[in-house]
Amino acid sequence: MKMQRSAVCMMFLLAALLLPLKVIAAPQIVEEFFPSGEIAKPQAPFLRYSGVSNNGDSIQMWYNIPKDVLALSNAYNRWSNSDGGSDGFIARFGVEEYRLYLQTDASIDGGSWQYSDDWDDGEWPGLPAPHALAFHCMEGLNNNPNKIYPEMDVSWLTYIEDGNTGFLAPIVTPFTVDGGTNYHYDLKNHTLAVRCRLMLEYWTRGGEKQRIFSPWSPETSIGRNGTQEALTAPGSIEAPILSDFSIVVKNDRNFGRYYLEIPESVYDGVLYCESQEDTVDPYYIQVQMRVNGGEWQDVYIANPKWIFSGHRFTETEGGLKADDAVAVRARLQCKKLGIVSNWSNVVGVGTDTAEASFTASQWAQGELEEAAALGLIPDSLKEADLTEPITRAEFAVVSVKCYEALTDMKAEPYPSNPFTDTTDAEVLKAFNIGVTNGTGPTTFAPDVILNREQAATMLTRIYKKIEIGGWTLETDGNYSEEFRGMFETPEPFADDENISGWAKDSVYFMKAKGIIDGVGGNKFAPRAITDAEETAGYAQATREQAILIAKRMVKKLG
């Protein structure tokens, strides 16, 4: 058989734990990660046909890893590298051993699936030979964590030795090359459908083997009547999250050790890139370290192209001392797509880390540090709780900082204060450059909380002020068509009807430029609509959100 068998398994998910159980503790593995008694249903796998080749055709398959399995993988990586070693995971989750398997099934031209109830017994639940490919065991994440989306050659579907074996033989066309016989998939006249499911096999404290399954994934199909849809390229990368930093001795050198968590959304981008032609290891982890208040420096990280959550080690050229003040941050890059994530939050030891941190959400720490480096965080907010809602006066200050960063010019206050409820010079600067106006002829309402559509609109005015000659807040309506011609309007949000008419252009401008996006479920959450939403603080813009929007404007439009 000359069928290509490249990439039979280019990533492995979970190591088989073969150590004796030291301590029985806490919940069982199923109760912790799979409380419903089954693994979450995988998404439909993705197939790619390599096209006709003299070496034989190849069909490759990618499949996603469900959230609960990712959680199990992350927990193993975190706990098995704790002070207790692998026993730390065993003790925490009450198992003696576990393995995770993938089952893959297929049908031809809408015919029956190959599955039978024999697949449920765990002894050999897979397709007929070759067994090692048909029933794929995902072992060894912690030994070779190459990819979270395994790529598999689907040559197991044919397993042709003489042109007549393998249940896909009816859709295979033989041909002669170099005096021998090879085979092509005839997908012009036939349809191949594939589905997959996961099985967890584990041993209890008494040594009894148990197993649970996921439901079968939705099917995907290619060929004559194929329904598979193309994958969508990501427009951005979510930043990683760092935690658990310490200085440890390894091979007689001091290293910075920390846990690096890859957000789930990143794997969709990895899947897209891996499914494209000739793409291997598309994402790359960049790590920087700062020692004793010095400059950020790129530092070594082992296997930076292995995108997985787990403990990592980093060192500087001269090594670390036990009493050094050390800060570490990381980000993800994809050269194929030309996109880079924001920096992660900063972790470390010593005063250096304390000076770099803000009272803010963990996910925002890295970008906030970038914002601080750009001079976008006002002194009045540096010690504040940035998770709190932002007021009109506070947002005015952030807007002014953004304007000054984009223009490299200092804003000046409005020469005569029209407001009776504030004397804030930054508010008067924002009023003077046209970012904001009052709530009445003589009132500004500095303490009123801003909502998301108001924030988007105020910062969009900065762009208009800079890019549209003659624009003022009073004449804004005269430039509507010109402004709409400056960006391609994206698909509407699901709650588009709740976005105020005066804010829609600004909201979709921000979305088109990748500066601000929805809150999940393709919703923007522009403003509170009901009294209950108003009371609950729905759609309020927070200080950290406002600062990060300003930072993204400067980075993308500056």
Does one domain contain both 335 and 470?
A: no
- Report the residue count for the chain: 558
Q: What are phi and psi of 453, to 5 degrees?
A: -70, -30
Query: Are residues 190 and 322 both part of a single domain?
Result: no
> What single DSSP character describes residue 449?
B
Q: Are residues 423 and 512 in the same domain?
A: yes
Are 241 and 183 part of one and the same domain?
A: no
24 within some domain: no
Both 59 and 118 in a single domain?
A: yes
Residue 200: inside a domain = yes
The answer to whether residue 14 sits within a structural domain is no
Contact 233, 337 (CB under 8 A): yes
Give backbone dihedrals phi and psi of 25, rounded to 5 degrees, phi first. Answer: -150, 160
Q: Give me the half-sphere count of Cα atoms (radius 13 Å) on the Cβ side of residue 404.
A: 19
Q: Note whether 67 and 193 are same-domain residues.
A: yes
In-domain check, residue 5 = no
Q: Which of 357, 386, 405 is the last residue of a domain?
A: 357
459 occurs within a structural domain: yes
* 547 within domain boundaries: yes
Question: Is 6 part of a structural domain of the chain?
Answer: no
Q: Which of 326, 357, 388 is the last residue of a domain?
A: 357
199 and 279 assigned to the same domain: no
Query: Following CA atoms 291, 297, 302, 303 in sequence, which dihedral angle do they give, to the nearest 10 degrees?
Result: 150
Print the domain residue range for 237. 230-357
The terminus-to-terminus CA distance of the chain in angstroms comes to 57
Angle between helices 365-373 and 543-557 (to 10 degrees): 60
| Residue 78 maps to a domain | yes
Distance of alpha carbon 494 from alpha carbon 480, whole angstroms: 23
Beta strands in 306-436 (DSSP E): 310-315, 326-334, 339-340, 347-349
Which strand ranges, in their side-by-side order, compose the sheet holding 151-153?
A: 46-49, 59-62, 151-153
What single string gives the DSSP state of each residue in 289-337?
EEETT---EE-EESSTT----EEEEEE-TT---TT--EEEEEEEEETTT
In angstroms, the CA 13 to CA 359 distance is 36
Q: What angle do CA 39, 45, 50 make, to 5 degrees?
A: 155
- φ, ψ of residue 100 in degrees (nearest 5): -120, 135
Residues 209 and 98 in one domain: yes
Structure tokens at 135: 């029933």
pLDDT by 10s per residue, the chain, length 558: 222 222 222 222 222 222 222 333 323 678 778 888 888 898 898 888 876 655 556 677 777 778 788 777 777 776 665 544 455 666 667 777 777 777 778 888 999 887 877 778 755 444 332 222 222 222 222 222 233 333 333 333 433 444 455 566 677 777 776 766 666 778 899 999 988 888 887 877 667 788 888 999 999 999 999 999 988 888 888 888 888 788 887 767 788 888 888 887 888 888 888 777 767 788 999 999 988 888 888 998 888 988 888 888 887 777 788 888 888 999 999 988 889 988 887 888 876 655 456 788 767 777 787 788 788 988 888 878 898 999 999 999 999 999 999 998 999 999 999 999 999 999 999 999 999 999 999 999 999 999 999 999 999 999 999 999 999 999 999 999 999 999 999 989 999 999 999 999 999 999 988 888 777 778 899 998 888 888 777 888 999 999 999 988 988 887
Domain co-membership, 377 together with 345? no
Do 314 and 405 fall within a single domain? no
543 and 515 in a common domain: yes
Same domain for 290 and 409: no
- φ and ψ at residue 543, rounded to 5 degrees: -60, -45
How far is Cα of residue 523 from the mean position of the Cα atoms in its chain?
Answer: 18
**What is the count of structural domains for the chain?**
3
| Final residue belonging to a domain, choices 170, 201, 223 | 223
- The answer to whether the CB of 258 falls within 8 A of the CB of 311 is yes
Helices (H), 61-188: 67-80, 86-93, 131-134
Q: Where residue 249 sits, what CATH number does that domain have?
A: 2.60.40.10
pLDDT computed for residue 80 by the predictor: 63
CA angle 166, 8, 58 (to 5 degrees): 60
